[in-house]
Amino acid sequence: MKTKIAISKSDSRYQNILDSLNLIQQEILEKLKNKKNIVIKPNCVSDEIQLASTHKDSIKAVLDFLKQNNIDSKITIAEGSAYSTEKAFENFRYYELKDYNLEFKDINNDEFEEIQGFDKNQHPIKLGLSKTLLDSDFVISLAIPKTHDSVIATLGIKNIAVGSLIKKTLFKHRIDNSLLRKIVNRATAIRNDKGKIHQGPKAINKNIFEIYKKLKPDLVILDAFQAMEGNGPIDGTPLDLKLAIASTSAIAADLAGLKLMSIKPDDVGYLYYISKYENLNQNDLEVIGNTTLEKEKRKFRLHDNIQSQKNWR
């Protein structure tokens, strides 16, 4: 049986997400059988810039899909922002979804389990992964196709991998001044494993691969209604595509995202490792929906430091 990748295009972000999930409804519901604890992991690398972060309407579409299919599992919205997770939830209006009987979790200060990663010299280091994500029955990665300053592209898998890492700080209260918040977040982190994996292209790509082997999404949804090109994952510029992509195969979804961005899969280190690990055969993938990747793909402008990012081999 072929692995399905759903793609939907319309003038509605919400409808694109919902339609893409309906296209692979059977596959999703099969994987959801007897699952009691669902985690939806948005991408809020920024707590202020909506373009860099998952839109509330995207989450609502996922919640409505689950509701329409009578999924009564516990649902948690879990994120560990590069800055303030609480402020991200507030700024992007996630708390307006409280009628869905959700729990919200800042996984930066979560309990954690350690795995082995690598530093810039390929020496072993310990990386702490969120217990909320590790203990979930079903992890949904709700991400945005964006260019990146370290690994060329960030999609569904990286959203889970880096977001799952702890970043414990001394101060958890709100700080309203943007510059002060950045200084405090960096200066008062007592354990910042998100920062620890950023030790050059070789280390970060291997580290994402190691995390994937321990924690991988059960469902990846790429909200490409408005993607990001250029100096992502925060400071890039918008690219309007009006698309959504979804698959119960995380690597299949991410490879579809790369094709959309016109990025060669072998250029992105962590996805190269994962493709080999999963023994993925491109002939086993089937794209379904109201458009095609060939028709919709665009030449994304990559980060200014793209050449140095390719030195992961």
Q: Letter for the amino acid at 212?
A: Y
Q: Which pLDDT score, from 0 to 100, does residue 190 have? A: 77
pLDDT band at 173 (very low <50, low <70, confident <90, very high): very low
**Range list of H helices, the chain:** 13-23, 25-32, 56-68, 85-91, 131-134, 156-163, 178-187, 193-196, 201-214, 250-261, 269-278, 293-296, 306-309
Confidence check: pLDDT of 186 > 60: no
Q: Which pLDDT score, from 0 to 100, does residue 169 have? A: 77
CATH architecture of 3-301: 3-Layer(aba) Sandwich (3.40)
Q: Which pLDDT score, from 0 to 100, does residue 177 have? A: 55
Mean pLDDT of 77-104: 96
Summarised one tens digit per residue, pLDDT across range 23-61 is 999 999 999 999 999 999 999 999 999 999 999 999 999
Summarised one tens digit per residue, pLDDT across range 11-25 is 999 999 999 999 999
Q: Which pLDDT score, from 0 to 100, does residue 178 have? A: 56
Confidence check: pLDDT of 286 > 60: yes
Which has more confidence, 85 or 177? 85
Q: Which pLDDT score, from 0 to 100, does residue 187 have? A: 45
pLDDT band at 280 (very low <50, low <70, confident <90, very high): confident
Q: Which pLDDT score, from 0 to 100, does residue 1 have? A: 78
Strands 285-289 and 37-41: unpaired
pLDDT band at 301 (very low <50, low <70, confident <90, very high): very high
Q: Which pLDDT score, from 0 to 100, does residue 284 have? A: 85
Instruction: Give me the chain's average pLDDT, please.
Output: 94
Closest CA to 10 of 223, 195, 179, 185: 223
Domain edges within the chain: 3-301
Mean pLDDT of 135-159: 98
pTM here is: 0.94
Mean pLDDT of 172-194: 59
Q: Where are the beta strands (DSSP E) in 26-120?
A: 37-41, 74-79, 103-106, 112-118
Task: Write phi, then psi, for 29 (nearest 5 degrees).
Answer: -65, -30
Q: Is 200 left (phi over 0), alpha (psi -120 to 50) or beta?
A: left
Which has more confidence, 53 or 186? 53
Rounded to 10 deg, the angle between the 250-261 and 269-278 helix axes is 140
